[in-house]
A = this chain, B = another copy of it.
Amino acid sequence: ARPRVGYYYSGKKPGRVLAEKLHRILVGDVKSVPVVVSEQCTIYDAVVTMFIEDVGTMFVVREGGFLEGVISRKDLLKTTLGGQDIHKLPVGVIMTRMPNIIYAEPDESVWEAARKLIMHEVDALPVVRPVNNENGAADLEVIGRLSKTNVTRLFVELGEGND
């Protein structure tokens, strides 16, 4: 039978409708601008940058903006507590280094990226674009940041129901 006006065909539970909607929102639609430092940046300068930019996670890049490492507020707090000379120690010594970095790409769903945040217990992911290098491998150009704040903001926007 054809649906009457005021009804529409579903055959799916509402939870399923919601789930499919969530899967259609892409990382590229909600990502933030990345905050990056170089590997030689001192711990002290990294903390200052983190406060000025007001982020919880920064990415360590080499020339060309390619991903080398990730450094979190938690990593920095552990180091400042340790009594080391934070004016001399570079972030390269304490950062999480490739290939142990979880990242997202702009055309994957925010849902998939959110799942990575939860599964790997990190606050933010670098959003990257793979670029083939002369060795036939891929370098990861950092083009954004996807954090629990982005997911929370999206959750709030979806609850406004304006779309």
Check A162 for interface membership: any CB of B closer than 8 A.
yes
Distance in angstroms between the alpha carbons of A6 and B10 in the assembled complex: 6
Distance in angstroms between the alpha carbons of A154 and B154 in the assembled complex: 12
In the complex, the answer to whether B18 meets A21 with C-beta atoms within 8 Å is: yes
Contacts of A21 in B (CB 8 A): 14-15, 18
Contacts of A14 in B (CB 8 A): 2, 8, 17, 21
In the complex, the answer to whether B80 meets A15 with C-beta atoms within 8 Å is: no
In the complex, the answer to whether A161 meets B47 with C-beta atoms within 8 Å is: no
Contacts of A44 in B (CB 8 A): 81
**Copies of the chain in the assembly:** 2
In the complex, the answer to whether B81 meets A73 with C-beta atoms within 8 Å is: no
Check A52 for interface membership: any CB of B closer than 8 A.
no
Check A153 for interface membership: any CB of B closer than 8 A.
yes
Contacts of A16 in B (CB 8 A): 161
Check A160 for interface membership: any CB of B closer than 8 A.
yes
Shortest CB distance A55–B (Å)? 10
Chain A contacts to B: CB under 8 angstroms: 2-3, 6-11, 13-23, 44, 47, 50-51, 54, 56, 73-74, 76-78, 80-81, 86, 109-111, 114-115, 117-118, 121, 123, 148-149, 151-156, 158-163
Given A13-B161, A111-B159, A151-B155, 14 extra CB contacts under 8 A: A3-B7, A15-B161, A16-B161, A18-B158, A47-B77, A56-B123, A73-B73, A73-B74, A118-B153, A118-B156, A148-B148, A148-B151, A154-B155, A155-B155
